A and B are shown apart, each in its own frame.
Chain A
Amino acid sequence: MKEPAVVHPDADTLCDLDAGLLKDTAGEADLQAHVAGCASCADLLALLATTRERLAALPQEPMPVDVATRMDAALAAAAAAQTVTPRPATVAAVPSLRSPRRSSGIRWLRGVGAVAAGAALLMAGGIGVRALGGPSDRSPLAGVTEGRSAPATGSPPAISEVRNYTPATLADGVRALLPGRAADGAARQSNPSAAPLPLGTRQTAAESAALARLRAPAQLAACVAELAGKQGVTPLAVDFALFQAEPAVVIVLPTADPTRVAAWVVGPACMKGHADRRHDELVSRAG
């Protein structure tokens, strides 16, 4: 009798044998013969069989309710966004920047400068956060912005006051971002006096920097397109803010249902192919 060619197979080989990868190969019979007489190899094969059984027996936890709810909401928001008809693109909105319709006076700028600035960016293209009080009009508001932030041309202020949204406050916050009763899609100013949120959370320079990329209109537009699932959707409002104390952008999109808007919260990495989604929900305009 000849000795088997394989004297002591390594573990990988035994794993392959166990997985049936060696079926009908020349060495299989020799291996089987070896294993039959080798306690340690037989042990490993038994252990592999046990491992397969253990894996198969792992309990399957159903999707938790909170996760399921979140998925439903996300899909509902996606469905709503998808059925919206494309709006005239950014160019059409520019005139409204030059003669902004504003429902409440000076107060809105303090707390939500970044909000309107985000919208302004999208409309006017690359003017920057300061553009809000700058070229858009000559009202005293300009002074407010200038006074509160570094007058660095073309770059966001080092420190601005932003909102810190949470899942609990998002809906109210979003309603506060929406234009008043004139829901014509052109007015994008906001009225913070209606906001029940603590305003004036300080955004540090680092947090502001985290979102800097998205302040570029093309980047923001790519992010919006990713959320909406198509190009050319103009947000109703954009707020560079915090969400649960993390830098985030709140983007409010119209839905097919005129009574509701889709509120998306995205992180700094929002781009084509990756929304960096933090939260979303459908928000009733009426509350």
Chain B
Amino acid sequence: MDGARNGIAVDAPTAKSDLELLRAHAAGDAQAFGELVRRHRDRLWAVALRTVGDREEAADALQDAFISAFRAATGFRGDSAVTTWLHRIVVNACLDRVRRRTARPTVPFPEAGPAEPAEPRDAMAERDTGLVIEAALAQLSVEQRSAIVLADIQGYSVAETAAILEVAEGTVKSRCARGRGRLAVLLAGLRNPDPSDGVEIQTGGSRSTTEGEGG
């Protein structure tokens, strides 16, 4: 598009769109798919890392995803953006891993640090906020987590997130809403260093019943 203006940019590899790269790959260009992946790998890594919550497993999931995308590319019909399609394959590979792990309880899940801080809250507040948020994310269901990773962390629109996850937009909104509610409670300690014991917010976000008791 822009590259057409000066005509010389034709052979610059960056001038190719995602779709052109994918088509080139399908046509046998051995470099094209690698380039496509390199172009998007940082955010795909971020998605995988935060969805899976473990570096090694995230790398495994990504590799599985890239290989299956590599092979499925010829069947790409262009009914979604290439990036949406790539994200979908990556997220599905991550969900597969997380669900398999859940089925095998021998693998310990990251423990719930911020819910019950063992140290004074102001000390906790000085810790790396990012780590605390990661740990809180790990406590969400994988459905809520993947929606939040895509929409709230990566900043994709609800529509994009829904397309990646292959669910309705309302489902994305609802998963994000409930996930945020849970996170808000888990992260309340970050904002309120004062030891005013319980966070006086009650969520029905997890599995607690809200039958009007204790109102």
Contact = CB atoms under 8 A, between A and B. Distances in A.
B148 A55 contact: yes
A79 B184 CA distance: 45
Given A11-B201, A19-B173, A277-B60, A59 B41 contact: no
Nearest to A21: B173
B152 interface: yes
A12 interface: yes
Nearest to B148: A55
A40 B63 contact: no
B53 interface: no
B101 interface: no
B16 to A, nearest CB: 17
Contacts of A274: 64
A71 B33 contact: no
A242 to B, nearest CB: 19
Query: Size class of B's contact patch?
Result: 35 or more
B203 A11 contact: yes
Interface string B100-142: 0000000000000000000000000000011001000000000
A8 interface: yes
A11 B152 contact: no
Interface in A48-81: 48, 50-52, 54-56, 58-64, 67-68, 70-72, 74-76, 78-79
Contacts of B133: 54-55, 58
Contact of B45 (A16, A58, A62): A62
B79 interface: no
Given A67-B45, A75-B34, A12 B66 contact: no
A180 B33 CA distance: 34
A43 interface: yes
A12 B60 CA distance: 35
A271 to B, nearest CB: 13
A153 interface: no
B59 A78 contact: no
A37 interface: no
Contact of A78 (B67, B130, B177, B181): B67
B23 interface: no
B67 A74 contact: yes
Interface in A15-58: 15-16, 18-21, 40, 43-44, 47-48, 50-52, 54-56, 58
A18 B205 CA distance: 14
Nearest to B187: A51
B191 A277 contact: no
A238 to B, nearest CB: 20
30 contacts: A11-B201, A11-B210, A12-B177, A14-B181, A15-B177, A15-B178, A15-B205, A16-B174, A43-B201, A44-B184, A47-B188, A47-B201, A48-B181, A51-B180, A52-B152, A55-B133, A56-B155, A62-B45, A68-B38, A70-B59, A72-B34, A74-B66, A78-B70, A79-B33, A82-B70, A83-B28, A274-B64, A275-B67, A277-B60, A277-B63
